[in-house]
Amino acid sequence: MNNTMKKKLLYALAIVLACAACLTACGSESSTTVYSNKASKESSETKSAETDAAAPAIEGLTYESTLKLDYAKCFSVYKYQGGYSLIAVNDGRNYFIVPDGAETPSSLDSSYIVLKQPLDHIYLAATAAMCEFDSLDAIDHVLLSGEEADGWYIDSAKAAMESGAMLYAGKYSAPDYESLVKNRCDVAIESTMILHSPDVQEKIEELGIPVFIDRASYEPEPMGRTEWVKVYGVLTGKEDKAEEVFEEQKKYEDALADFTNTESTVAFFYVNSNGMVVTRKSSDYIPRMIEIAGGRYVFKDLGSDDDTASSAVNMGMEEFYASAKDADYIVYNASIEDPINSIQELVDKNAMFADFKAVKSGNVWCTDKSLYQASNVNGTVINDMHIMLTGGSTDDVKYLRKLQ
């Protein structure tokens, strides 16, 4: 056999071996892929053990799957055999969830914050997260509240406190440490406000109580905030319910995917006790909700030169008037200040409002007072805004009211 023939045979053999290896690899990947959304849906977007390089390797545990997320950017959830989960938050904190009755892996290093289920003695200082527990029918997991009974607009939380099933344990910056210890608190769930009180966080941790910091407010998309319900589904063992709750909200944004924007402008604000107008940066999630609903926020780049974490912008009435007087719609934000019940009440706050286009045309709306405790229904609020912008039936609006 000459050299040319030998080369052809070797080349053919190499092709056969390469094809066989490819088939073997494909078969292996298909057989090891495990999906996390078992009850609601299975998604091919969930990554397999071989392909998800982001999943931390934990000695002694076998990685199974990564929770599929549609909008959230501030957390990831990795699942391991035996019911273990890892919630990795983008602030660098990693929460390792140990299922009820299981042992904490001895190989786990101190960089992981261990949370042992059942987590049913929670101190919830991050009041905006109570709505997530409510939507999961998991209010009974919260034993200690950072808000008193009369501060809740969530009926189940208010009722639990009035019955004594939930106890007030002080606000985030001044918790009742004795109560946390006495009631065997298993985790303190805090908002990022705790970062302004590092001594409080340190004291809680010194007592042997892990601190979980909710970063939902840093999500760039409104539905990303709502998707944090999946985090609380993992913590409470109600992941299927969390998926169901999220999909119910997601359907509203999905329905508007092909909607052509009305180009109607919207001003969103309230007037504080000093007579200053308080509105939102253009990059905030509220302007984004307005855009998804089919409108345009009246301020195009407000706060773009402000690198602070606050989403609020204070301005004098004259400055607000110059930019917002021709807005097609006014939405008064009653989640901070008391609601207004008529257009006249708005004008009473400042006579200049009488010259606003939206006041003259009767397109003045007010949010529900409970809105700041309702991040779990951002899809519904987007739908409310859409109804406002398109003249739909006000009977179908839940968190906005049209004023007369």
Lowest mean pLDDT among 18-27, 31-40, 67-76: 31-40
For 237-257, letters b (16+ CB in 10 Å) and e give bbbebbbbbbeebbebbeeee
Domain spans of the chain?
63-251, 258-402
Task: State the Cα–Cα distance between residues 108 and 98, nearest whole angstrom.
Answer: 11
Mean pLDDT of 351-367: 97
Q: DSSP assignment of 340-366, as one string? A: --SHHHHHHH-GGGGG-HHHHHT-EEE
One-letter amino acid at 321 equals Y
Mean pLDDT of 5-9: 40
- Tokens 């056969």: give the residue: 16
Residue 155 token pair: 């009926």
Q: Which pTM value belongs to this model?
A: 0.84
Q: Dihedral sign for Cα 180, 182, 183, 187, please.
A: positive
pLDDT for residue 53: 63
Residue 318 token pair: 């004259």
Length of the chain: 404
Contacts of 8 (CB under 8 A, 6+ apart): none
Mean pLDDT of 384-389: 98
Categorize the per-residue pLDDT at 372 as very low, low, confident or very high, splitting at 50, 70 and 90: confident
Contacts of 365 (CB under 8 A, 6+ apart): 329, 330, 331, 332, 388, 400, 401, 402, 403
Residue 133 token pair: 């527990």
For residue range 71-119, list pLDDT tens digits in order.
999 999 999 999 999 999 999 999 999 999 999 999 999 999 999 999 9
How confident is the prediction for the chain on average, in pLDDT? 88
Q: Give the CA distances from residue 380 to residues 187, 241, 248, in Å, rounded to whole numbers and listed in that order.
A: 30, 18, 9
Mean pLDDT of 56-64: 95
For residue range 212-227, list pLDDT tens digits in order.
999 999 999 999 999 9
Residue 235 token pair: 């913590």
Angle between helices 378-390 and 239-255 (to 10 degrees): 20
Mean pLDDT of 313-328: 96
**Nearest residue to 256 (alpha-carbon basis) of 390, 401, 372:** 390
- Tokens 């606000």: give the residue: 171
Give the homologous superfamily in CATH for domain 258-402: Nitrogenase molybdenum iron protein domain (3.40.50.1980)
Contact (CB, 8 A) for 262 and 229: no
Categorize the per-residue pLDDT at 129 as very low, low, confident or very high, splitting at 50, 70 and 90: very high
CATH code 3.40.50.1980 for 63-251: yes
Q: Dihedral sign for Cα 228, 229, 232, 233, please.
A: negative
**Nearest residue to 388 (alpha-carbon basis) of 360, 371, 359, 365:** 365
One-letter amino acid at 161 equals M
One-letter amino acid at 262 equals T
pLDDT for residue 54: 84
Categorize the per-residue pLDDT at 26 as very low, low, confident or very high, splitting at 50, 70 and 90: very low
More confident residue, 329 or 305: 329
Mean pLDDT of 224-231: 98
Residue 320 token pair: 């607000």
- Tokens 């969530």: give the residue: 154
Q: Give the CA distances from residue 68 to residues 26, 229, 251, 339, in Å, rounded to whole numbers and listed in that order.
A: 22, 13, 16, 38
Q: CATH topology of 63-251 equal to that of 258-402?
A: yes
Mean pLDDT of 245-272: 97
DSSP state of 308: S
Mean pLDDT of 269-288: 95
Where is 315: in which H helix or E strand?
Answer: strand 312-315
Where is 387: in which H helix or E strand?
Answer: helix 378-390
pLDDT over 90, % of the chain: 80
Please state the φ and ψ torsions of residue 235, each to the nearest 5 degrees: -65, -35
Residue 296 token pair: 């345009």
pLDDT for residue 52: 64
Contact (CB, 8 A) for 123 and 187: yes
Mean pLDDT of 19-33: 33
First to last CA, the chain: 98
